[in-house]
Amino acid sequence: MSPASLSAAVLAVLAPIAAERRPDEDLAITASDVVIERPRNRDHGDWATNVAMRLAKRLGVNPRELAQQIADGLAGVEGIASAEVAGPGFLNIRLEAGAAGALAKTIVDAGDAYGTNDTQTGVSVNVEFVSANPTGPLHIAHTRWAALGDSIVRLLLASGAHAVREYYINDAGVQMDRFGRSVLAAAKGEPTPEGGYPGEYIAELARRVLEARPGLLELPADEQLVVARDQAYEYQLAEIKHSLERFNVPFDVWFSERTLHAAGSDGSPSLIDRALGRLREQGHVFDEDGAIWVRTTDFTDDKDRVIRRSNGEYTYFAADAAYYLNKGDRGFTNKIYLLGADHHGYVNRLKAVAGAAGEDPEKNIEVLIGQMVSIGGARLSKRAGNIIEMDDLLDWLGADALRYSLERSPADSPLDLDPELLQKRTNDNPVFYVQYAHARTHNVARNASDSGVDRSEFAPELLTHETESALLGALQEFPRIVGFAAEVREPHRVARYLEELAGLYHRWYDNCRVIPKGDDPLETVHRTRLWLNDATGQVLRNGLGLLGVSAPERM
């Protein structure tokens, strides 16, 4: 019996009680009012609910009295062994062994689908993250957001949402010209221009550009800059994509900022021009001192924003506004932005864009701010000189250890990772601990097969050992954990759950045998335990997949 089916059973008992106590009122009690949780002390039962305490006042009854009525009604429900009232009105529920153990087969039968849920069904969300300028390699801060952003999308998809990963390519503006001038100067053997980009990677790009365009330096000066900039941009963007691929982070959309500035092929206005017109129609645009402004202070911004300067040039804010509107035009009701620790000033600005566009800044847009991450002993990039590159981190620590360690803590907490720990093959290393548990489930299954133990029988009522009850209780929680992690955008909840599950599995492994000992006969309980072993492996595998981390079968 799953938490959802138990919630439905409690609701079925509660509904007639509520109707009898309030016959003239439609209390509209639903399953969402019946919160089922695991008690901290498993001696109190398998599940607990405070529904009597939550609804007692609405029904005009003492909480303990209501809880007892529900308990009496649950006594006859199939799969429930007992229901007892505790404290001021808590209800502790104990399942029959067969009802609890049946979950093992449910999980194995569901396979990769176990843990998926419908909590985000109907939600259309665009998640934009990383979005580094294509003027250099990805670095350590991008690495954290790449891991978190990808896992947030995985969680949303598993919870029924229509979600996409989007990378905004900042390929317009002065930084691209500085990039082009830096590459061109390197191609000519000249020093890095003032305000340009230094580093060996610029020299590498210049060599590649000259190989691809041997006549570059014979072109007119303006053409040299354009060719050097665009060719180097193509190479650098390809490197960024390759780094993210190594990190197991796929993007569904690569959106070029240049798209916002370009007029239509038929001469129609650019997306930025159209965005200005739409914001003006909403009534939040005004003209002053020859410039065009958006009254963003109407939406808690600290000051109004210029969208077009008096010289006719659009500001960065204009691109932000046009990009936001474009996401909505593509069908995304909800937009999530993942920004670095130095981007706090963008929060009110982006929410103001949503408000000025006629949307709800508290519902249609979320801006997540991440904190810095440091890794002891990490060296600055030899190529870039002033950053720690993602590729160097991947070479050093590996994608699995890096992703897991970045995802097992809340995004808003600073991180100082221990590289020695992340490379250890011991239980002190969290990612090793979880992956080893998964590998152990496969080892148990292999040994079971060699010993003639298969899944030809399943008697869930035999799974009565205390470690089996604890393990089954944790396995039941997985869909709820996934749904909640998706709702609050916190992948670390899955990681911490997996660590708890791994610990419960290891304790079960130490106490319950899947393979008969010595000359003991092969019994139904051994085959049934193999189902539980394989169910645990499936959940560990599904959870690691949501984090973008591999689930090795051997270690």
Q: In the chain, where are the structural domains located?
A: 3-95, 124-169+250-373, 174-246, 425-546
Considering only CA atoms, which of 225, 207, 240, 242 is closest in space to residue 134? 240
The dihedral sign for the CA sequence 273, 276, 282, 283: negative
Please tell me the predicted confidence (pLDDT) of residue 186.
97
Q: How does pLDDT run along the chain (555 residues), one tens digit per residue?
A: 777 888 889 999 998 898 888 887 777 788 778 888 888 777 778 889 999 999 888 888 999 999 999 999 998 898 899 999 999 999 999 888 888 899 999 999 999 999 999 999 999 999 999 999 999 999 998 999 999 999 999 999 999 999 999 999 999 989 999 999 999 999 999 999 999 999 999 999 999 999 999 999 999 999 999 999 999 999 999 999 999 999 999 999 999 999 999 998 888 999 999 999 999 998 999 999 999 999 999 988 889 999 999 999 999 999 999 999 999 999 999 999 999 877 777 888 899 999 998 899 999 999 999 888 888 888 777 677 778 999 999 999 999 999 999 999 999 898 899 999 999 999 999 999 999 999 999 999 999 999 999 999 999 999 999 999 999 999 999 999 999 999 999 999 999 999 999 999 999 999 999 999 989 999 999 999 999 999 999 999 999 999 999 999 999
Is the domain spanning 124-169+250-373 CATH 3.40.50.261? The answer is no
Residue written as tokens 């051997």? 554
Per-residue buried b or exposed e for 419-447, using 16+ beta carbons within 10 Å of the residue's own CB:
bebbeeeeeebbbbbbbbbbbbbbbbbee
Considering only CA atoms, which of 122, 130, 45 is closest in space to residue 82? 45
| Per-residue tokens: 411 | 């995004």
- The span from the first CA to the last CA of the chain, in angstroms, equals 34
Considering only CA atoms, which of 441, 432, 400 is closest in space to residue 107? 441
Angle value at C-alpha 251, between 250 and 254, nearest 5 degrees:
150
Residues forming beta bridges with residue 142, ordered by sequence position? none
DSSP 3-state of 283: coil
Please tell me the predicted confidence (pLDDT) of residue 302.
87
DSSP 3-state of 555: coil
Written as one string, the DSSP assignment of 195-238 is T---SHHHHHHHHHHHHH-TTGGGS-HHHHHHHHHHHHHHHHHH
Please tell me the predicted confidence (pLDDT) of residue 538.
98
Q: How are the residues of the chain apportioned to helix, strand and coil, as percentages rounded to the nearest 5?
A: 55, 10, 35
CATH code of the domain occupying 425-546:
1.10.730.10
**Pairing mode, strands 253-256 and 90-95:** unpaired
How many Cα atoms sit within 13 Å of 366 on the Cβ side? 18
Report the CATH architecture of 3-95: 2-Layer Sandwich (3.30)
Please tell me the predicted confidence (pLDDT) of residue 3.
79
Please tell me the predicted confidence (pLDDT) of residue 344.
78
Residue written as tokens 């090793």? 432
Please tell me the predicted confidence (pLDDT) of residue 516.
95
Please tell me the predicted confidence (pLDDT) of residue 105.
97
Neighbour count for residue 465 (Cβ, 10 Å): 14
d(CA 190, CA 198): 12
Please tell me the predicted confidence (pLDDT) of residue 37.
87
Q: Supply the pTM of this predicted model.
A: 0.90
3-95 and 425-546 share one CATH topology?
A: no
- Residues in contact with 118: Cβ distance below 8 Å, sequence separation at least 6, in sequence order: 159, 160
d(CA 1, CA 10): 12
Please tell me the predicted confidence (pLDDT) of residue 313.
93
DSSP 3-state of 302: coil
| Per-residue tokens: 433 | 């601990």
Please tell me the predicted confidence (pLDDT) of residue 2.
76
How many Cα atoms sit within 13 Å of 541 on the Cβ side? 21
